[in-house]
Amino acid sequence: MRTRAPDIYAAGDCTDQPQFVYVVAAAGTRAAINMTGGDAALDLTTLPRVIFTDPQVATVGYSEQEAHHEGIETESRLLSLDNVPRALVNFDTRGFIQMVAEAGTGRLLGVQAVAAVAGELIQAAALAIHHRMTVSDLSSQLFPYLTMVEGLKLAAQTFSKDVRRLSCCAG
Ligand SMILES: Cc1cc2nc3c(=O)[nH]c(=O)nc-3n(C[C@H](O)[C@H](O)[C@H](O)COP(=O)(O)OP(=O)(O)OC[C@H]3O[C@@H](n4cnc5c(N)ncnc54)[C@H](O)[C@@H]3O)c2cc1C
């Protein structure tokens, strides 16, 4: 957060950081630590982003294109929302959940979701990426049935099975 002028620190929309209020708050805290002699960095690698359209657009981590740009080989799956029970119950199956994983290891790299409440499920994906979970780890977690976030588990399961053939509850 230090600018080119050594005694001047900056946070927020006047910088080139992503313009989200939670980024601003985190950067401000770290700027205060650094200007009082500390050494705090702002890690934006698992920054969740939400666009409050209808349906919402929410992303975290790498898209396929971004991963390839970094030289990372990927495997990805796209789950349309007509495979997610909560979306069916809500009569709103507009959208999808796309999952990007590292080829070979299956480590989750990114999630892009378009859904009525995509903003509500993206933080679970951010935690999974932060804790270096694989799609296999994610698909063996317990997710509550009839929630939208269950779509993350179903999307993870598409790496190893055809979720349209599951009877119930993404088991
Ligand atoms: C319409 C809109 C919707 C948004 N929605 C979201 C959202 O849903 N989620 C999200 O995370 N982010 C959202 N953002 C972005 C978020 O609001 C900004 O990233 C954040 O407020 C930037 O904080 P800041 O402190 O850098 O600037 P600001 O919040 O703009 O604060 C700057 C302050 O400085 C004051 N000021 C300006 N000039 C002077 C001066 N000369 N002297 C004294 N004071 C001055 C201003 O009055 C203002 O109070 C939205 C932004 C907009 C515009």
For position 167, what pLDDT does the model report? 67
Span from the CA of 10 to the centroid of ligand 1 (angstroms)? 14
Q: Which atom of ligand 1 is nearest to the CA of 28?
A: 25
pLDDT per residue as tens digits for the range 81-140:
999 999 999 999 999 999 999 999 999 999 999 999 999 999 999 999 999 999 999 999
Which structure tokens are listed for 104?
């070979």
> In one letter, which amino acid is 23?
V
User: What distance in Å separates the CA atoms of residue 160 and residue 165, rounded to the nearest whole number?
Assistant: 12
Query: For 49-163, CATH number?
Result: 3.30.390.30
145 lines ligand 1 (CB under 6 A): no
Span from the CA of 48 to the centroid of ligand 1 (angstroms)? 19
Evaluate if residue 170 carries a pLDDT over 60: no
For position 161, what pLDDT does the model report? 78
Instruction: Kindly indicate the confidence band of residue 168, based on its pLDDT and cuts at 50, 70 and 90.
Output: low
For position 74, what pLDDT does the model report? 98
Q: How many CB atoms lie within 10 A of CB 157?
A: 22
Evaluate if residue 164 carries a pLDDT over 90: no
Q: E strands, 86-171, where?
A: 96-102, 108-115
Task: Please state the three-class secondary structure of 66-108 as a single string.
Answer: HHHHCCCCEEEEEEEHHHCHHHHHCCCCCCEEEEEEECCCCEE
Instruction: For the chain, give the mean pLDDT.
Output: 95
Which structure tokens are listed for 85?
């029970």
More confident site: 13 or 168: 13
For position 17, what pLDDT does the model report? 94
Span from the CA of 78 to the centroid of ligand 1 (angstroms)? 35
168 lines ligand 1 (CB under 6 A): no
Mutation probe of ligand 1 site: the residue of 21, 22, 53, 60 with most atoms within 8 A of C-beta? 21
> Where in the chain are the domains?
1-44, 49-163
Taking the model in full, what pTM does it have?
Answer: 0.90
Evaluate if residue 169 carries a pLDDT over 70: no
pLDDT per residue as tens digits for the range 19-32:
999 999 999 999 99
